[in-house]
Amino acid sequence: MSWIYALDLLGTLVFAISGVLTAIDKKFDLVGTLVIGFVTAIGGGTIRDIMIGNHPVGWLRDTNYIYIVTLGFLLSYFFKSNIIRLRKSMFLFDTVGIALFTTLGIKTCLSFKLSIPVCLIMGVVSAVFGGVIRDVLTGEIPLIFRKEIYASACFAGGIVYIILDFFHLQNDVSVLISILVVFLIRYFSVKRGWALQLNE
């Protein structure tokens, strides 16, 4: 198992946990909670795949994603209070998750011979639209439209990845650097209260 695949599963796990915790807070029932865990974890990649015509969508072909989401569900359910105390590690894994989802999304789109701007956009979509669907289904205005430089960090990391890929850097290294870029931007943005607000 490559480290990229391992991180992908880890990112999926963290996304699933974040979805399940949201659903538990909203007092959803068992199946509703599972559904929210799922759409949070695999929603972004699903939207990317159905838009570029990558059928059947990724997680339908690799049952590991289903097991990982189910694991995230069980962990959140039985160790809820412990997980909430791990907020800092969650932030770390979540950031690694969106960074990785962005680069993997871009890589998939490049292999479909799509143009650079399209690949960049679809990469960010892969990373953030799981959370968007989670928020829509739980009756919230999507968080990414309001707080933190979340999607913006993905954009930056995606641009770095595309540049490195253009210069034929080894893929593992490009991914690693892109993850670092996303992490640093997000870390400092939260630390210093950065925001890209348009008005006022």
> x/- string (CB under 8 A) for a copy of itself, residues 89-128?
-----------------------x-xx-xx--xx-x----
What radius of gyration, in Å, describes the C-alpha atoms of the chain?
Answer: 16
Q: Which long-range contacts (CB under 8 A, 24 or more apart) does 22-30 make?
A: 22/134, 22/138, 23/138, 24/76, 24/77, 24/80, 26/138, 26/139, 28/138
Interaction between residue 9 and a copy of itself (CB under 8 A): no
Which amino acid, one-letter code, is at 47? I
Interaction between residue 53 and a copy of itself (CB under 8 A): yes
Residue with Cβ nearer a copy of itself (26 or 107):
26
Q: Exactly one of 12, 18, 22, 33 binds a copy of itself (CB under 8 A); which one?
A: 33
- What is the Cα 69 distance to its own chain's centre? 13
Interaction between residue 182 and a copy of itself (CB under 8 A): no
Q: Exactly one of 132, 162, 176, 181 binds a copy of itself (CB under 8 A); which one?
A: 132
Nearest partner of 22 among 195, 45, 14, judged by Cα: 14
> What 3-state class would DSSP assign to 85?
helix
By the criterion CB under 8 A, which residues form the site for a copy of itself?
A: 23-24, 26-33, 35-36, 38, 46, 50-53, 55-57, 60-61, 63, 66-67, 77, 112, 114-115, 117-118, 121-122, 124, 132, 136-142, 144-147, 149-152, 155, 195-200
